[in-house]
Structure 1
Amino acid sequence: MPTSAGLRVNQAAGRWVLFTTSLGLTMALLDSTAVNVALPHIGEDFGAGLAQLQWTANAYMLTLAALILLGGSLGDRFGRRRIFVAGMTLFALASLLCGLAPDSETLITARALQGVGGALLTPGSLAIIQSSFHPEDRARAVGLWSGLGGVGAAVGPFLGGWLADGPGWRWVFLVNLPIAAIGIPVALRHVPESKAALDRHRFDIAGAFLGAIALGLLTYALIETDWLTGVLGVFAAAWFVRAERRHEAPMLPLSLFRSRQFTVINGVTLLVYAAFGGFFFLATLQLQIAARYSALAAGAAMLPTTLLMLLLSGRAGSLGERIGPRLPLTAGSLLSVCGMLLMMRAGANADYVSRVLPALLVLGTGMVTLVAPLTATVLASVDTSRAGIASGVNNATARAAGLIAVAALPLLTGMQADSYQSAETFAATFDQAMLWCAGLLVVAAMISYTQLGRGHAGTPAAPAPDSRMHCAITAPPLDPGPVNTGLAGTTT
């Protein structure tokens, strides 16, 4: 078996590597897009309040956001295949626990474990391709991997709705087991192992731990309206920053923020993905609770945004390269505002073609317009040697933004524990939430227009990800950085 970066796409060995890494990506993407559709069924089965549904979504995002940077480093140090297989195994075991959960508390715990598995699995998927394929075939391999993963993202809401309405919501999680049963043996047999060159630096375990604690405390404070916990979360965040400043190889290098453009674009990322995270969490609930769609219909209804991302992201990236990021980020944010305001028409018994579809098409067009230039601008703001970690920080920023939005929006809009059980009550608070999300995007547009340079952004310090298709609903795509250094990631 080849152990260096010499595999070819047209060889059986190369196809096996593509197959198993795509399975891993698909497994992670299915869960990130399918679970929200099943939330009303989960709440009904467990008699759970809105807070339990928030935690079902957020427990996964919390551990994934906090540990994804560490997961990439572990793969570089101990072996990318080894960490990929460990992540897939943990993800599968956690999925089994989710599917067998007797109560909401067990489900939430299992979702957090899924996030740990995802933090190990997700960076390794692309890193394996980058380190295994011949340079001449690497771009093609990443494109095929991204396209196959994008199909998984597109199928997720549809599959989640079909399973929730049919055999039951537990199968949304149990479907991961056969995927892992195929992927793990194939990875062990056919994927070459690779590591980065060893260095003297210690892992930033303290940074990962403090980051998770800070995010967890702040999320708990928002969901449970516990302000003392919020204060503790702020102190934990300050301690995290202090620890990162003093660590010799920090998980979050604060020196990156010396670049004004990097700081600005991460601020835009925070706002944009908070809006997107809140929208996709609440929109599938709105369609089922207020519009009276089945879970299957609600899942299928969300497909247009994903399909637009898959089909048009490459062209949007090319446009951004020609004219610079300022106008695409501004226009994309404002188009997304229009999409969210149009979604307020999706109330009681809303017709899909006349009320829901126009909103999703406008929103999807806005997302397509801004996501690829956002990623390119992140990479252009740092040296090539730091492209991987800069992209990883941007990805983690986006995931944390979605996490906080899902926790905060019900509080800001006055949603109560039983709000999702009343169509009229939920629809009213959903409209308020869309106004909040639209407001975040307006601020993002203003920052983009006033703080980013006019015209062409200049030659990026690192190339944009090879992927020409991706679904960046939960976070922008990660660039793997140079082979054997930095962080690699996915296109979720």
Structure 2
Amino acid sequence: MADAPEPDAEPAPARRTAVPRTGTQSLVLWIAVLGSFVSFLDGTVVTVALPAIVDELGGGITTQQWTVDAYMLTLGSLILVAGSISDGFGRLRVLRIGLLGFGASSLVIALAPTAAVLIGARFVQGAAGALLVPSSLALIMTHFRGPAQGRAIGTWTGATSAAMVVGPLVGGLFVDLASWRLAFLINVIPIAVTLWLLGRLARHDEARDVRRPDARIDVVSAALAALGLGGVVAALIEQPNLGWTDPRILTLLTTGIVLLAMFLVRQTRVPDPMLPLPLFRTGNVAWGNGATFLIYGALSLNGFVLGVYLQEGAGLTATAAGLASLPITLILMAASSRVGALSGRLGPRIFMTAGPLTMAVGALLLLLVGDDFSYWTQVLPGVVVFGLGLALTVSPLTSAILGAVDPSRSGIASAVNNAVSRIAGLITVALIGTIVGGTLDLAGFHRTALVTAALLAAGGIVSWIGIRNPAASGDPVGDDGTPGARDGEGGDGA
């Protein structure tokens, strides 16, 4: 990797000066929000549609797991390539390609005649989705600096969380009143609006769409990552059906681990790696991604199991099951911008510690769910506490990691963080069959709540141990807490 640029020499007082948001910044924020909205919307739609998909296409919990994991597999493995593409070929162009691919694959999913076709289209959709979030966040990091950057990320977090409201509500209504297939077409409007806004931005901001002319796609690394993750995930999903001693499981697991090891070795030897390992020499990047793995693994596990159990175990409709988590989204939308601003002033460490621990308490409150089901007394208390913890966590986590690197590397840093979160969800969803014992009954639901709480508590502890606050608001920090350490400068890593 090329040498990191020297820290900005701008004096500290200038960094803290409030700068009015320009028209271009407002346009960028709308594009970043809507571009990411599509990916988040799909995740919430899938959760409420899983039981209906299985009812029509068959396959039981294995089909449900692959419907989720096929998307996260290509998303998690290719998002690293997408980050490099974003930095090398321009955020606007990459966003446009991702939006078009996402829309086309959504149409195939809506028309899928079999589970195999649906799962295949989900692989493609994940590849398109990999282009969206890193480029969206990179746009924010390029156009906003200092405290304004924290506020913009907070706004992005709260606004994209609207997908968590629209997805379950509209998706659930389609499932209950028409067909789960229509639920996958609700992203057409945000895709169309975002493409139009991209055209407006490109006309007068092309100079800011920075790209590296020497950028190349590392096809070998991408294949190693995708096939390695695919082998591990396939083994984890099929293990409850075949057993750990089955030669097919052992072959898949061993092959996957070997390929992932080869991927990591290759990243130390290629000139432009998908996963720049020197990034992790910066403490907030290393520890922040460790916390991300634990926290987002727990979020994916909880979201999958809660959405499916409320329908199959508690007997709620798809709409009611989708709306069960509505308080989490409303709290996140209401508080994210404020928390982002507070984190910019106080530093992310306390928020990244208190947030996951609060969510762990919310997960434990789901142990109140019993055979005599009541949403208001058994689910709502845990959901509210969970939402408060999530609001404390998301914006500071993103700011801590992206604020620790130079803006020129924000695309790949965002991609790495998103890849970690998706891979964490990929693995925990693959493990659901093992966690619940093959059947998502009440006992399995309780076991999932305990595992979720343990992962979240670990995420809070990791954050407290490793995250360091910036010495001055808006300054990147190294792993020793000093400002200006970027991409491997200043520190010996985690």
Q: Which bracket does the TM-score occupy, shorter chain normalised?
A: 0.7 to 0.9
Deviates more, 1:286-295 or 1:340-349: 340-349
* Per-residue CA distance 1:194-217 (angstroms, 9 max, x = gap): 642434353333222221122111
Among all aligned residue pairs of Structure 1 and Structure 2, give the percentage whose two residues are the same amino acid.
39
| Correspondence for 1:173 among 184, 200, 208 | 184
Paired letter, 1:67: L
TM-score scaled by structure 2? 0.81
**8 Å contact from structure 1 (residues 34, 160) kept in 2:** yes
Q: Aligned residue for 2:365?
A: 342
| Correspondence for 2:128 among 104, 111, 117 | 117
Deviates more, 1:18-27 or 1:396-405: 18-27
SS of 2:161's partner is helix
**8 Å contact from structure 2 (residues 145, 474) kept in 1:** no
Q: Which runs of 5 or more residues in structure 2 are unaligned?
A: 1-19, 240-248, 478-485, 488-494
Q: 1:381 to 1:460 in 2, by over 3 A?
A: farther
**8 Å contact from structure 2 (residues 283, 467) kept in 1:** no
Is 1:228 aligned with 2:248? Answer: no
**8 Å contact from structure 2 (residues 288, 401) kept in 1:** yes
2-structure distance, mates of 1:313, 1:136: 14
Q: 1:135 to 1:404 in 2, by over 3 A?
A: closer
Q: Aligned residue for 1:196?
A: 210
Q: Aligned residue for 2:297?
A: 274
SS of 1:174's partner is coil
Is 1:458 aligned with 2:471? Answer: yes
Q: 1:264 to 1:170 in 2, by over 3 A?
A: same
Q: CA deviation at 1:384?
A: 5.6
**8 Å contact from structure 1 (residues 291, 346) kept in 2:** no
Q: Aligned residue for 1:242?
A: 265
Q: Could you say what the CA RMSD is over the residues aligned between the two structures, in angstroms?
A: 3.3
Q: 1:43 to 1:206 in 2, by over 3 A?
A: same
Q: CA deviation at 1:150?
A: 3.1
Q: 1:20 to 1:283 in 2, by over 3 A?
A: same
**8 Å contact from structure 2 (residues 157, 395) kept in 1:** no
Paired letter, 2:217: F
SS of 1:198's partner is coil
**8 Å contact from structure 2 (residues 357, 457) kept in 1:** yes
**8 Å contact from structure 1 (residues 72, 124) kept in 2:** yes
**8 Å contact from structure 1 (residues 26, 149) kept in 2:** yes
Q: Which runs of 5 or more residues in structure 1 are unaligned?
A: 1-7, 421-425, 465-481, 486-492
Is 1:25 aligned with 2:48? Answer: no
Q: Aligned residue for 1:39?
A: 50
Q: CA deviation at 1:44?
A: 0.8
Q: CA deviation at 1:326?
A: 4.1
Q: CA deviation at 1:371?
A: 2.5
SS of 2:353's partner is helix
Paired letter, 2:472: T
Q: 1:204 to 1:246 in 2, by over 3 A?
A: same
Q: 1:28 to 1:440 in 2, by over 3 A?
A: closer
Q: 1:457 to 1:347 in 2, by over 3 A?
A: farther
1-structure distance, mates of 2:44, 2:74: 17
2-structure distance, mates of 1:9, 1:24: 20
Q: Aligned residue for 1:437?
A: 452
Q: CA deviation at 1:89?
A: 1.6
Q: Aligned residue for 1:4?
A: none
Is 1:214 aligned with 2:237? Answer: no
**8 Å contact from structure 1 (residues 221, 227) kept in 2:** yes
Paired letter, 2:380: L
1-structure distance, mates of 2:81, 2:50: 29
Matches within 5 A, 1:276-295: 276-295=299-318
2-structure distance, mates of 1:302, 1:20: 26
Q: CA deviation at 1:45?
A: 0.9
2-structure distance, mates of 1:120, 1:261: 24
Q: CA deviation at 1:174?
A: 2.3
**8 Å contact from structure 1 (residues 218, 233) kept in 2:** yes
Paired letter, 1:113: V
Deviates more, 1:117-126 or 1:291-300: 117-126
Q: Count how many residue pairs are aligned between Structure 1 and Structure 2.
A: 448
Deviates more, 1:435-444 or 1:241-250: 435-444
Q: 1:128 to 1:372 in 2, by over 3 A?
A: closer
Paired letter, 1:215: L
